[in-house]
Structure 1
Amino acid sequence: MSFYEELVTQTQMNYSRYYPVYASGSTPYQLTDKKPLPYGEQIDRLVQEVKEADCVVVGGASGLSAAGGGDFYYEDNDSYRKYFRPFAEKYHFKGAFAGMMHPWETREEYWGYLATFLHTTQTAPLRDPYLDLDVLLKGKDFFVLTTNQDTQFVKLYPENKVAEIQGDHRFFQCAACCTDDTWDAVKPVAEMMDAMGDGTKIPTELIPRCPHCGGEAFPWVRGYGNFLQGAKYEEQYEKISRYVLEHKDSKILFLELGVGRLTPMFIQEPFWNLTLSFPHARYIAINDKYNFLPKQLEDRGMAIVADIAQVLRDARDTMESGDNNQ
């Protein structure tokens, strides 16, 4: 087990131990009682911390994509209707994830829904918060760890700069995990969408199959099936492990973006652990809901509670304004 995966395993055990606390939207850790800086000063400090860091490790979670318009997962809103209208009108789902749990009567309609889900993220343009983040990171040594499966980061950066530890919508795996192989999902999904048109079903012959056992395929993602934790999965953990260990003595900034309460064990709590463990590490979290800064990190970190898209836009403007004044 790699270094970072071991950290995640430890925090998963803690999550299980204190599940009622996490389920209530809280944390078992003692948090700082220091009054946060005014918003403008927080933006200035964010920019300064990025500039002064030798390297930055970005932890991108669901709130980052939601801030840029990828907010169709949990509610029946305009974004959801834009991409899933035939299903929304037929089934009245409250967001995309609700359809993933629906007991579909046929595999053809199930795959019609799943193809719509995958196509929506595979073909989505780069969202503004990602572009603003990219400006902040310009010229920096950095690495991205993400629990998002929506392919935003790998549209922006080479894959050796990104660890996708929860999977990626661009790939299929065998639903039964008969093989350690993963394969392209983009072309099959496009074919399913073309065949479905304005309907909600795909032709039977387009249901994706495993080339090894002939059983159904499934997206290579954690959450709804038998997630394949094989070579590709281990490679993601190896990438982030190698990066943080190679930079443990540097002035490293852990930048957490949009972590919710369902998955603090993948980014948030490992980042807390690493900030405490590495001699020159710093930590900043940006979240529109949770003001979680451990007391032990109050002199080495900051939590900005505000709209992530606005924070990154303001930080970008501040960064560019400062560059122009130099």
Structure 2
Amino acid sequence: MSYYENLVMQTQMNYSRYYGVYRAGKTPYALSEKPAFPYEEQIHRLVREIEEAECILVGGASGLSAAGGGDFYYEDNASYRKYFGKYAEKYHFNGAFDGMMRPWNSREEFWGYLATFLHTTQTAEVREPYRDLDSLLEGKDFFVLTTNQDIQFIKLYPEEKVAEIQGDHRFFQCSRCCKDDTWDAVKPVEEMIRVMGEGTSVPTELIPRCPHCGAEAFPWVRGYGNFLQGRKYDGEYQKVSKYIQKNQDKKILFLELGVGRLTPMFIQEPFWNLTLNFPRARYIAVNNQYDFLPKDLEDKGMVIVGDIAKVLKDAAEWSE
């Protein structure tokens, strides 16, 4: 098991132990009671911490994409209607993920929906918060760890600078995990979308199947399928582990963006652990809801509570 995956496993055990606390949107850790700096000073401090850091580990979660308009996952809103309109009218799902959890009358209809989902993220432009973050990181030594499956970071950076530990919408796997193998999902999705047109289902012959056993394929993602944790999965964890271990004695900034309460064990709590244990480490989180700074870290970091898109835009403009 890699260095970073071991940290995740430790925090998952903590999550199980205090599940009721997390479910209530809280944390079992003692939090700092220091008053927050005024917003403008927070922005200045964010820019300064980035400038002074010798290296930066970015932890990008769902709130980062949501801030840029990728907010169609959990509610029936304007974004959901824009991309999933025909399914919203027909089934009245409460967001994209809701549709993934419902029973379907046919596999052809299900794959029409899934192809729409994958095509939406595969073809989306790089969202503005990501571009502003990229501007802030220009010229810095950095690495990106993300739980997002929407490939926004991969559209900006080479594979070796990004660890996608929750999967990637560009790949299929066997739904039965018969082999440790992943393959391209982009071209099959393009074909399903083309043939489906204005309809809501795909022809049976276009349903992707495993080249090894013939079972249905499935996106290589955690959350609503039999997620393949094989060579590719291990490789993602190895990348981030090597970056951390290589830089543990440097002035490293752990920059957390948009972590919610469903999965604090993948980015937030490992970042807390690392910041506490690395003598020169610093920590900054940007979150639109949660002001969670452990008391043990109150002299090593801060939390900016606000719209992530606005924070990154203001910081990028200030740094120019």
Q: TM-score range by the shorter chain?
A: over 0.9
| Residue 97 of structure 2 corresponds to residue 91 of structure 1 | no
Task: Say if 2:242 is the partner of 1:233.
Answer: no
In structure 2, the partner of 1:42 is: 42
CA distance in 1: counterparts of 2:276 and 2:267, whole angstroms: 14
Does 1:197 find its partner at 2:218?
no
Kindly indicate whether residue 308 of structure 2 is the aligned counterpart of residue 316 of structure 1: no
Q: Which amino acid counterpart does residue 166 of structure 2 have in structure 1? A: Q
1: CA distance between counterparts of 2:29 and 2:279? 21
Pairwise CA RMSD: 0.3
How many residue pairs match? The answer is 320
CA distance in 1, matches of 2:280, 2:135: 24
| CA deviation string 1:169-189 (max 9, x = no partner) | 000000000000100000000
Q: Secondary structure at the match of 1:234?
A: helix
Structure 1 residue 279 displacement after superposition:
1.1
Deviation by residue 1:183-240 (Cα, 9 ceiling, x = unmatched) = 0000000000011111110000000000000110000000111000000000000000
Residue aligned with 2:177, SS: coil
Moved more, 94-103 or 139-148: 94-103
- The aligned amino acid for 1:305 is V
Q: Where does 1:130-279 land on structure 2 (aligned, <5 Å)?
A: 130-279=130-279
Instruction: Give how far 1:94 is off.
Output: 1.1
Counterpart secondary structure, 2:73: coil
Counterpart in the other structure of 2:120: 120
How far off is 1:301 after superposition?
0.5
Q: Percent identity at matched positions?
A: 75
* Alpha-carbon offset, residue 242 of structure 1: 0.2
* CA distance in structure 2 between the aligned counterparts of 1:230 and 1:211, rounded to whole angstroms: 17
SS in 1 for 2:155: helix
For residues 62-92 of structure 1, the C-alpha deviation after alignment (integer angstroms, 9 at most, x for no partner) is 0000000000011111110111011000001
Structure 1 consecutive aligned stretches of length 4 or more whose deviation exceeds 6 Å: none
For 2:86, the aligned partner's letter is P
Alignment of 1:5-24 (within 5 A): 5-24=5-24
CA distance in 2, matches of 1:178, 1:9: 25
Gaps of 5+ in 2: none
Distance in 1 of aligned mates of 2:301 and 2:283: 4
- Equivalence for 2:31: 31
Secondary structure at 1:6 match in 2: helix
- How far apart, in 2, do the equivalents of 1:102 and 1:19 lie? 25
| 5+ residue gaps, structure 1 | 321-326
Q: 1:78 is aligned with what amino acid? A: A
Matching of residues 67-82 of structure 1 within 5 Å: 67-82=67-82
